[in-house]
Amino acid sequence: MELENFKNIVIHDVGMRDGLQMESESVDIETKIEWIEELIKSGIDIVQVGSFVHTGKVPQMADTDDLFLHFNKPENKPSNTILSALVLNEKGMDRGLNCGVALFCMGVSASETHSMKNTGMSTTEAQVRIINMAKELINVGKLIQVSVQSAFGCGFEGNISEDKVLGIVKEYLNAGIRNISLADTAGHANPAKVQRLFSAIRELAQDIEMACHFHNTYGMGLSNCLVAIEEGVKYIETAFGGLGGCPFTKLAAGNVCTEDFVHTIQNMGYRKDIDLDRLIKIAKHASGFFVKDLPGFVYKSGAIKH
């Protein structure tokens, strides 16, 4: 195992967006602010505050603008944590620019079926649009991350050609984009495929910054993260409590759990600067709020103490 790669891990918690979008019970803005504040205090590197999407389709994200306006006030602005958001189109991009998003995340699905359900566009149409948006954001000095969704398989189509995934990545690289994520929207990834795809991507450009986003549909999420890190992936997307799932995939399931992932790498000797107890506290609070057990393990079992 390439342990040197674990020293530079950047954790991107997407619980406030990917985690909450599947929950039918609305979370009030005061509770959202409290959870974001706790994530910031825990030392998580990037927190995804929400997404700029149609509120009729994803009502949980209706207050994303207000959340960014709150955290961009001088007295609330985090000094060491980057606040990100997901945008799907130009309208969402403009909303993000107006309320002060620091990192814009945008994606294209390698599955034509998922792409149409998620965006109403084919993969090719969506990528042209996303690349144009990314260039515009880069020109105004914003941080961006682009992704290939359904990169490891699709609940509707099954296997996705690795050549198609690599073709989308090459288009990003040709456009000058270097922060690229592979998202396992359906949870079909396995360690061997993760190793193969990220190894192939690493060969495409020396200056590429790789990210990963795994769903734990079949229980392989944490293993996939560890293999991805071995292959040089720097940005790891997780969600507190293991919340989450894409509402436009066939079988939605939670993300890799933030506190479980942090607990794992801390037991390996890395990222001990992150306050695991605070992350566990957030997961417990969320479990109580939704009145149900969440998919995470460590918030229920407690951490291994050394």
Q: Which long-range contacts (CB under 8 A, 24 or more apart) does 23-26 make?
A: 23/60, 23/243, 23/290, 25/289, 25/290, 26/59, 26/60
Non-local CB neighbours of 70 within 8 Å, separated by 6+ positions? 33, 76
- Low-confidence residues of the chain, pLDDT below 70? 1-2, 245-253
3 state SS of 106: strand
Whether the CB-CB separation of 64 and 51 falls below 8 Å is answered with yes
Whether this prediction's pTM lies above 0.75 is answered by yes
Structure tokens at 306: 């050394």
- Model pLDDT, residue 1: 60
- Model pLDDT, residue 245: 57
- Model pLDDT, residue 221: 95
| Torsion from C-alpha of 54, 60, 62, 65, nearest 10 degrees | -110
Q: Which residue has the tokens 């969506």?
A: 126
Residue 88 and residue 97: Cα distance in Å, rounded?
13
- Model pLDDT, residue 49: 98
The ranges assigned to domains in the chain are 3-301
pLDDT tens profile 110-130: 887 777 877 778 888 889 999
Say which CATH topology domain 3-301 has.
TIM Barrel (3.20.20)
